[in-house]
């Protein structure tokens, strides 16, 4: 990179990456829990993809039964700490809270969930669940992200021997490597990994399925296989200059930030992030918090069409990120290093097949934005090459594995799948739900229920 932002003092990094939402104190949690109306129809519970019994866990906090509260939460969601901290609660449970209809602040469900689960981990994960009698069958799980962990934990409780195969040396998948540290620290994700291991689930790290071991071998070794492989790389922009030093994929960048070795993560003085989804916002705000002087988000449509949540957009604006809407990159400029990005202004034309208005370039509106770094954040591709190599699977036009919506069984009866590899990229909480449901699909399959 030509112009690298200078390192910050260590305490500045800590400040910049401090948690966005600090934990409740004991008293403040009780006060908040006592505000809950324990609605009989719990719209909050319906809005949660894992259907946590929210009013019950909050009631247990109010009555100071914190372990009981944690049990209620974990019964529905094995990665409840990650979800408490990283879920878009404003559009899920808290967005559905009846207090919104009264023009009052909704119950802070995410922070209360965190309060109960933090206490559970602080108490050393006392046993809350009884495992079923051993079934004498083994399940192989590919990927230790939220779907794999949830599936593994549930299967272990159901009496199965479970081995999770993880390509990285540190397990946890997206929870460990893909969530901005001011939302979730790596240590939080690793606590959930330890919880799953405490049920007897074995996690083999550094194992690349398809290279170190083939899926066929897993199918011979195990009675069923669950695929929770997530998504792959950021797609190519196919722009001239993409090979220059200073161009990086958003996930690769976020992974570096997640090492928490912040002083060694290089960031340009001026950064352009291409795309306007939630990952783009993470990459942009992380760049700013690492010391970048100016960070731009370039998006070819307007703020109405962007996929980032409103609260993410607000966070980015608070961090001083500059948005260039209706702007498309044409060329990355530089000799060896990125020196700028040539953009063209767009206008919105007719809607495409998905109903999104198509951006149309405005002739002669090109301009150059001087930047030192370009972060590609235009989504992620599925691991379609890997998935296509597995016999008997059906892969749809989007590159996702086709599964039965109830059992999560693929068109290869011995293989089940869940999480981003079946939906193309949703929230952690969706993956946690898929993993748990798939565990029951596997149980049904193996017990001929």
Cα 74 to Cα 88: distance, rounded to the nearest angstrom = 19
Judged by CB under 6 A, does residue 97 bind ligand SF4?
Answer: yes
Regarding 424 and contact with ligand SF4 (CB under 6 A), the answer is no
**Sheet of strand 322-324: strand arrangement:** 247-249, 373-376, 270-274, 294-298, 322-324
With respect to ligand SF4, which residue has the nearer C-beta, 57 or 226?
57
**Closer residue to ligand SF4 (CB): 97 or 284:** 97
53 vs 319, beta carbon nearer ligand SF4: 53
* String marking each residue 18-47 x if it binds ligand SF4 according to CB under 6 A: ------------------xxxx--xxx---
Scanning 96-104, 293-301, 318-326, 352-360 for contacts with ligand SF4 by CB under 6 A, the matching segment is 96-104
CB of 45 to ligand SF4, least distance (A): 7
**Least distance (Å) between residue 89 CB and ligand SF4:** 11
To ligand SF4, the closest distance from the beta carbon of 103 in angstroms equals 14
- The H-or-E segment that residue 327 falls in is strand 327-333
- Taking CB under 6 A as the rule, does residue 98 contact ligand SF4? yes
User: Taking CA 398 as the corner, what is the angle to CA 355 and CA 436, rounded to the nearest 5 degrees?
Assistant: 110
Q: What is the dihedral of CA 190, 195, 201, 206, to 10 degrees?
A: 0
Task: Please identify, using beta-carbon distances, which residue of 54 and 403 lies nearer to ligand SF4.
Answer: 54
Count of residues interacting with ligand SF4 (CB under 6 A) = 14
**Least distance (Å) between residue 188 CB and ligand SF4:** 23
Q: How far is CA 394 from CA 376, 383, 401, in A?
A: 29, 13, 6
Euclidean distance between CA atoms 267 and 251, whole angstroms: 14
Selected range binding ligand SF4 among 94-102, 161-169, 229-237, 388-396, rule: CB under 6 A? 94-102
CB of 432 to ligand SF4, least distance (A): 19
Q: Which of 83, 107, 201, 341 binds ligand SF4 (CB under 6 A)?
A: 107
DSSP 3-state of 219: helix
Do 373 and 268 form a contact (C-beta atoms < 8 A)?
A: yes
* DSSP state, residue 394: -
Beta bridge pairs of residue 231: 382
How do beta strands 247-249 and 373-376 pair?
parallel
Alpha-carbon span 8 to 20, nearest angstrom:
20
In the structure encoding, which two tokens stand for residue 422, read together? 């079946």
| DSSP assignment letter at 142 | E
Using the rule CB under 6 A, is 67 a contact of ligand SF4? no
CB of 70 to ligand SF4, least distance (A): 17
Between 36 and 387, CB nearer to ligand SF4: 36
Residue 98 vs 446, nearer CB to ligand SF4: 98
The strand pair at 202-204 and 161-165 is best described as: parallel
B/e letters for 51-82, b = 16+ CB within 10 Å, e = fewer, are: ebbbbbbbbbbbeeebebbbbbbbbbbbbbbb
To ligand SF4, the closest distance from the beta carbon of 74 in angstroms equals 18
CB 41 → ligand SF4: shortest distance, Å? Answer: 9
| Six-digit token string for 68 | 């009981």
Q: What's the alpha-carbon Rg for the chain, to the nearest Å?
A: 23
* 93-101, 118-126, 181-189, 205-213 -> range binding ligand SF4 (CB under 6 A): 93-101
Going 143 to 113 to 440 to 44, the CA torsion angle's sign is negative
Q: For ligand SF4, which is the closer residue by CB, 94 or 161?
A: 94
Minimum gap (Å) between residue 100 Cβ and ligand SF4: 8
The β-bridge relationship of strands 357-361 and 340-351 is: antiparallel
Judged by CB, which is closer to ligand SF4: 107, or 142? Answer: 107
The secondary element (H helix, E strand) that includes residue 247 is: strand 247-249
Least Å distance, CB 84 to ligand SF4, is 14
Pick 90 or 185: Cβ nearer ligand SF4: 90
Indicate whether 109 belongs to the interface with ligand SF4 (CB under 6 A).
yes
Q: In terms of CB distance, is 109 or 158 closer to ligand SF4?
A: 109
List residues binding ligand SF4 (CB under 6 A): 36-39, 42-44, 54-55, 97-99, 107, 109
């Amino acid at each position: 990179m030509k112009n690298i932002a200078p390192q910050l003092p260590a305490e500045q990094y800590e400040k910049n990456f401090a948690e966005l939402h600090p934990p409740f104190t004991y008293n403040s949690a009780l006060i908040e829990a006592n505000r809950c109306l324990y609605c009989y129809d719990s719209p909050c519970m319906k809005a949660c993809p894992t259907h946590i019994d929210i009013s019950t866990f909050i009631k247990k906090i109010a009555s100071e039964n914190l372990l009981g509260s944690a049990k209620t939460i974990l019964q529905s969601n094995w990665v409840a700490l990650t979800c408490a901290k990283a879920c878009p609660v404003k559009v899920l449970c808290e967005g559905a809270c009846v207090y919104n209809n009264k023009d009052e602040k909704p119950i802070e469900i995410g922070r209360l969930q965190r309060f109960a689960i933090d206490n559970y981990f602080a108490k050393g994960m006392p046993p809350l669940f009884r495992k079923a009698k051993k079934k004498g069958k083994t399940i192989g799980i590919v990927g230790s992200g939220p779907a794999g962990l949830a599936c593994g934990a549930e299967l272990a409780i159901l009496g199965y021997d479970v081995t999770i195969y993880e390509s990285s040396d540190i397990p946890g998948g997206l929870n460990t490597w893909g969530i901005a540290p001011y939302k979730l620290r790596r240590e939080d994700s690793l606590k959930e990994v330890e919880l799953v291991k405490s049920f007897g689930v074995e996690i083999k790290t550094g194992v690349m399925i398809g290279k170190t071991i083939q899926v066929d071998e897993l199918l011979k070794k195990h009675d069923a296989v669950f695929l929770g492989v997530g998504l792959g790389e950021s797609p190519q922009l196919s722009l001239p200059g993409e090979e220059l030093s200073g161009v990086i994929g958003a996930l690769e960048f976020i992974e570096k930030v997640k090492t928490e070795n912040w002083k060694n993560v290089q960031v340009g003085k001026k950064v352009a992030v291409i795309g306007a989804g939630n990952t783009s916002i993470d990459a942009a705000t992380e760049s700013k918090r690492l010391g970048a002087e100016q960070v731009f988000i370039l998006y070819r449509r307007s703020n109405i069409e962007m996929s980032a949540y409103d609260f993410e957009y607000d966070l980015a604006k608070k961090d001083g990120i500059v948005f260039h809407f209706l702007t498309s990159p044409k060329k990355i400029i530089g000799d060896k290093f990125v020196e700028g990005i040539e953009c063209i202004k767009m206008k919105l034309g007719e809607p495409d097949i998905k109903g999104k208005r198509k951006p149309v370039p405005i002739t002669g509106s090109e301009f150059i934005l001087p930047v030192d770094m370009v972060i590609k954040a235009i989504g992620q591709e599925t691991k379609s090459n890997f998935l296509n190599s597995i016999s008997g699977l059906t892969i749809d036009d989007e590159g996702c594995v086709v599964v039965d919506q109830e059992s999560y069984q693929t068109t290869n009866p011995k293989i089940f799948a869940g999480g981003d590899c079946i939906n193309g990229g949703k929230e952690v909480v969706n993956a946690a739900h898929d993993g748990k449901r798939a565990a029951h699909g596997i149980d049904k399959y193996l017990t001929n229920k």
